[in-house]
């Protein structure tokens, strides 16, 4: 078991109507003027933005708004948000939305207090020792989709100039509070729900397949969360009004990424990096890209540790075959079957991606001679092979 | 799934030699003069206290010491600590020890900043709406035994005048940081290790048997942690030098009680209350008392929800019999077998408790006509029956 620090200081306020507490929560963390950051019109139409504003007004918290965050959030709106927040003298950033909105809010929060270009802190796989963000405005969230886990994580992913999808990290970026009301997710399009399920499942997979494996508690926690996502996720798709299923996956999405299931060992994260090139180039949903990439990654690296994949098959999907190899393969197949069942694409073509772009995708990933991931460190040619496997129709 | 707030802001610093970071950690939380609180001489003899002092000195943090905390910590030392800390102008309480030391440190931390008697915040089952502690000095811990979970919890248990073992709670009592070095636990007497295992397992059981059961994520997390405690706990007892086993149970003890496996539903906690009367009267180890009480509680309440106990049997101990009732019974038997295997007592007589004291124990629990617990609310006569079942030899 490797040494680690576990620190998850976010206050998670979970349940029905919890958005009505947002004003008091901002006040308790010292916020006096809030930038409310959000995406498209659904937050306005549903009345959620109105309820948030009402709560802030009741707590006598001043506020300004900046909407327009798109999936795979871009740096141009971040720059606009930084200028706007500075001009308005904002001291607290409130994200009302999903992972894209929260990530954009984090970028603004760090940019407001930083003299240079906020993008200085966003790095690719080429950066060996990324610099953690040292300071930011405090951030709060009202989550509207169970997916990215950004509501409890220290990370933010932004697509910079040149379609470069890059990440940054820093403990200061963990939200002070996150409001999780499963009712807010009941009206989401089911495709978005499924993308969210795929993303949170992938967050656990990245922590489960690692070269340091003798951590019983972490394995057990990973498997517990993956089984929950599989069973409750299916239920959320087949019974869209099932509050219990929505509540289970909402909390699963948070614990899948606040690192409680990732302590004590090295993690992988290569599938995320390989996927980011797809959603940056084709503007597909990150979850959909992961549904295409991650099973392909599994097929490619399975032989590195067949026993591990057999355990995944048995404990997560309950499948067991004659021997370890066939069990391991059956597990990957069961994973794809689940992805298909919840409505995810499984190949490049379904995603709008093109096999002829593979050399460009690999170049854009820019490993610069370094390797990617830890379970099986990948070189450029390995990544190309994984993209090729992702082209196969299922 | 019930509404909940999950808030676990403690910074957990886990791994070898992490006690050398204590000075910098105290400094980062603003401490300038520390009261080091500890128990008996083992912390002195092992050199741990010296390493802690060295680290504080290197960070230029002033310090005074107060040792002498005993298992089932008593209020007299708390009063002494409060006076001492006030006189010395202490602004940070550092617990170096296990649950008893940490609980005593929490009591001192709240008492220093409170005008009245610290015991005002400690309440028994007779108090329906206990008042949460509003303020305390900041607390840090260097944990020396995997057991109570107090290193990440908002609770403290103190034995007050008249052998009244009572608890208090308050978010301010969550340690700012907790240093968890599994190496520090390698030299513990195995009986203490086993008491710790029994206690942490019980913390999950209290969250697992509840009247609101439809929370897949919470059930899965509970079972994951219980299986880890069973398998890694056995290993820690049979291979005392196994660092991995010690590391697994040390972290399991923390997540068993920081409530990550307890969200979204009512909890029970009756076995803890029933046990506290035993350790308060006979001064036995809390874990040993739980080993005697909890299986007896299970036998008494099993019929309230046999399916639940059958699930516990199958998922935690991997036993399954012809039908639900026999499976449920086999699960309780497997639990006792495990307790015996790690070296725990199973009956009143092994604990030094006496059947003729049962009426006095029930009176001391002082339900005052109220009920105890939630899975099956217990009256005085139910508690007496559970104590009687705990008298049976196994």
Q: Are B287 and B218 in contact (CB under 8 A)?
A: no
Alpha-carbon distances of A220 from A204, B320, B331, rounded to whole Å: 11, 21, 20
Reply yes or no on whether the pLDDT at A245 is more than 80: yes
| Separation between Cα atoms, residue B93 and residue B105, nearest integer Å | 6
Beta bridge partners of B14: A4, B180
**pLDDT reported for residue A128:** 59
| Separation between Cα atoms, residue A322 and residue A314, nearest integer Å | 12
| DSSP code string of B187-234 | TS-HHHHHHHHHHHHHHHHHHHS-S----HHHHHHHHHHHHHHHHHHH
Residues of B in contact with A231 (CB under 8 A): 216
| Separation between Cα atoms, residue B8 and residue A10, nearest integer Å | 8
Mean pLDDT of A39-43: 90
* B14 has a chain A CB within 8 A of its CB: yes
A:B CB pairs within 8 Å: 117
| B 205-244 residues inside an 8 A Cβ radius of A | 214-217, 220-221, 223-225, 227-228, 231-232, 243-244
Compute the residue count for chain B: 394
**pLDDT reported for residue A165:** 82
Q: Are A119 and A159 in contact (CB under 8 A)?
A: no
Place of tokens 């050399």: A359
| Separation between Cα atoms, residue B104 and residue A121, nearest integer Å | 44
Alpha-carbon distances of A272 from A103, A269, A277, A294, rounded to whole Å: 16, 5, 9, 8
Residues of B in contact with A1 (CB under 8 A): 15, 182, 243-244, 247-248, 251
Tokens representing B380?
């005085």
Pick the residue from chain A with its C-alpha nearest to B225: A217
Mean pLDDT of A315-337: 97
Closest Cβ–Cβ partner in A9, A14, A217 for B9: A9
Compute the residue count for chain A: 394
Residues of B in contact with A224 (CB under 8 A): 217, 220-221, 223-224
| Separation between Cα atoms, residue B337 and residue B335, nearest integer Å | 5
**pLDDT reported for residue B126:** 54
**pLDDT reported for residue A124:** 63
Which of B171, B230, B248 is most worth mutating to test chain A (most A CB atoms within 10 A of its CB)?
B248
How far is Cα of residue B280 from the mean position of the Cα atoms in its chain?
Answer: 15
Pick the residue from chain B with its C-alpha nearest to A255: B260
| Separation between Cα atoms, residue B65 and residue B36, nearest integer Å | 5
Closest Cβ–Cβ partner in A4, A231, A248 for B1: A248
**pLDDT tens sequence for chain B (394 residues):** 999 999 999 999 999 999 999 999 999 999 999 999 999 889 999 999 999 999 999 999 999 999 999 988 999 999 999 999 999 999 999 999 999 999 999 999 999 999 999 999 997 655 556 788 999 999 999 999 999 999 999 999 999 988 888 889 999 999 999 999 999 999 999 999 999 999 999 999 999 999 887 799 999 999 999 999 999 999 999 999 999 999 999 999 999 999 999 999 999 999 999 999 999 899 899 999 999 999 999 999 999 999 999 999 999 999 999 999 999 999 999 999 999 999 999 999 999 999 999 999 999 998 989 999 999 999 999 999 999 999 999 9
**pLDDT reported for residue A67:** 97
CA angle B60, B64, B68 (to 5 degrees): 140
**pLDDT reported for residue B129:** 62
Contacts 24+ apart (CB under 8 A), A238-247: A240/A186, A240/A190, A240/A193, A241/A186, A243/A182, A243/A183, A243/A186, A243/B1, A244/B1, A244/B214, A244/B215, A246/A146, A246/A182, A246/A183, A246/A185, A246/A186, A247/A14, A247/A182, A247/B1, A247/B215, A247/B264
Tokens representing B50?
């010296």
Give the pLDDT confidence of A286-317 residue by residue, as tens digits: 999 999 999 999 999 999 999 999 999 999 99
| Separation between Cα atoms, residue B153 and residue B139, nearest integer Å | 12
| Separation between Cα atoms, residue B119 and residue B41, nearest integer Å | 27
Sorted by sequence, the CB contacts under 8 Å of residue B270 that are 6+ apart come out as: B297, B372, B373, B374, B375, B378
SS3 A65: strand
| Confidence at A214, pLDDT banded by 50, 70, 90 | confident
| Contact across the interface for A221 and B216, Cβ inside 8 Å | no
Residues of A in contact with B243 (CB under 8 A): 1
Chain A nearest C-alpha distance from B213 (Å): 11
| DSSP code string of A80-144 | HHHHHHHHHT--EEEEEESHHHHHHHHHHHHHHT-SS-GGGG-B-TT-SSPPPP-----EEEEE-
Tokens representing B190?
């195995």
Mean pLDDT of A56-64: 98
Pick the residue from chain B with its C-alpha nearest to A249: B217
Residues of B in contact with A14 (CB under 8 A): 3-6, 263-264
| Contact across the interface for A228 and B217, Cβ inside 8 Å | yes
How do strand A155-160 and strand A139-143 relate by DSSP bridges?
A: unpaired
| Contact across the interface for A248 and B215, Cβ inside 8 Å | yes
| Contact across the interface for B16 and A9, Cβ inside 8 Å | no
| Separation between Cα atoms, residue A307 and residue A323, nearest integer Å | 10
Residues of A in contact with B227 (CB under 8 A): 220
Give the pLDDT confidence of A188-205 residue by residue, as tens digits: 999 999 999 999 999 999
E strand map for chain B: 4-14, 33-38, 62-66, 92-97, 139-143, 155-160, 164-169, 177-180
Tokens representing A124?
């690719």
**pLDDT reported for residue B221:** 98
| Separation between Cα atoms, residue B90 and residue B236, nearest integer Å | 38
Closest Cβ–Cβ partner in B12, B227, B247 for A6: B12
Q: Are B74 and B159 in contact (CB under 8 A)?
A: yes
Sorted by sequence, the CB contacts under 8 Å of residue B309 that are 6+ apart come out as: B209, B298, B302, B327, B328, B331, B332
Give the pLDDT confidence of A366-379 residue by residue, as tens digits: 898 999 999 999 99
* H or E stretch at A34: strand A33-38
Which of B8, B151, B175, B217 is most worth mutating to test chain A (most A CB atoms within 10 A of its CB)?
B217
Sorted by sequence, the CB contacts under 8 Å of residue B369 that are 6+ apart come out as: none
Whose CA is closest to B157, among B280, B6, B288? B280
Q: Are B75 and B106 in contact (CB under 8 A)?
A: no
ipTM: 0.95
| Contact across the interface for A263 and B244, Cβ inside 8 Å | no
* A11 has a chain B CB within 8 A of its CB: yes
The angle that helices B216-238 and B190-208 make with each other, rounded to 10 degrees, is 170
* H or E stretch at A159: strand A155-160
| Contact across the interface for B243 and A12, Cβ inside 8 Å | no
Which of A4, A176, A251 is most worth mutating to test chain B (most B CB atoms within 10 A of its CB)?
A251
Closest Cβ–Cβ partner in A12, A14, A223 for B224: A223
How far is Cα of residue A309 from the mean position of the Cα atoms in its chain?
Answer: 23
Beta bridge partners of B38: B96
Closest Cβ–Cβ partner in B2, B7, B248 for A1: B248
Beta bridge partners of A37: A66, A95
| Confidence at A55, pLDDT banded by 50, 70, 90 | very high
**pLDDT reported for residue B164:** 84
| Separation between Cα atoms, residue B388 and residue B302, nearest integer Å | 16
**pTM of this structure:** 0.96
| Separation between Cα atoms, residue B133 and residue B119, nearest integer Å | 11
Reply yes or no on whether the pLDDT at A123 is more than 60: yes
Q: Which residues of B299-328 are buried (b: 16+ CB within 10 A; e: fewer)?
A: bbbbeebbebbbbbbbbbbebeeeebeebb
Contacts 24+ apart (CB under 8 A), A316-320: A316/A223, A316/A226, A316/A227, A316/A230, A317/A230
């Amino acid at each position: 078991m490797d040494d680690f620090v576990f620190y998850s200081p976010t206050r998670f306020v979970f349940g029905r109507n919890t958005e009505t507490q947002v004003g008091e929560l901002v006040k308790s963390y010292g916020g006096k003027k809030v930038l409310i950051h959000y995406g498209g019109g659904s937050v306005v139409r549903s009345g959620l933005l109105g309820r948030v504003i009402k709560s802030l007004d009741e707590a006598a918290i001043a506020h300004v708004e900046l909407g327009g965050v798109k999936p795979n959030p871009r740096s141009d709106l971040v720059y606009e948000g930084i200028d706007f927040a500075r001009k308005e003298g904002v001291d607290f950033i409130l994200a009302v939305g999903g992972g894209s909105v929260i990530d954009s809010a984090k970028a603004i929060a760090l940019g407001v207090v930083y003299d240079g270009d906020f993008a200085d802190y966003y790095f690719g796989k080429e950066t060996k020792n990324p610099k953690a963000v040292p300071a930011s405005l405090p951030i709060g969230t009202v989550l509207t989709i169970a997916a990215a886990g950004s509501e409890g994580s220290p990370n933010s992913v932004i697509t910079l100039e040149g379609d470069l999808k890059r990440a940054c990290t820093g403990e200061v970026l963990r939200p002070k509070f996150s409001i999780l009301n499963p009712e807010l997710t009941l009206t989401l399009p089911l495709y978005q729900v499924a993308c969210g399920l795929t993303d949170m499942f992938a967050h656990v997979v990245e922590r489960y397949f690692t070269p340091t494996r003798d951590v019983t508690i972490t394995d057990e926690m990973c498997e517990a969360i993956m089984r929950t996502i599989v069973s409750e996720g299916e239920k959320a798709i087949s019974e869209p009004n099932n509050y219990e299923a929505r509540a289970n996956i909402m909390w699963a999405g948070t614990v899948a990424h606040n690192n409680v299931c990732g302590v004590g060992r090295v993690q992988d994260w290569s599938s995320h990096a390989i996927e980011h090139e797809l959603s940056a180039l084709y503007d597909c949903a990150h979850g959909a890209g992961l549904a295409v990439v991650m099973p392909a990654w599994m097929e490619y690296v399975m032989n590195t540790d067949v026993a591990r994949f057999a355990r995944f098959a048995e404990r997560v999907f309950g499948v067991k075959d004659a021997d370890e190899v066939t069990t391991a393969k059956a597990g990957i197949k069961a994973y794809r079957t689940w992805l298909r069942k919840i409505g995810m694409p499984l190949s490049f073509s379904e995603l709008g991606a093109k096999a002829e772009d593979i050399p460009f995708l690999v170049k854009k990933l820019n490993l610069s001679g370094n390797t990617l991931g830890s379970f099986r460190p990948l070189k450029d040619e390995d990544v190309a092979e994984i993209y090729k496997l992702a082209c196969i129709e299922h």
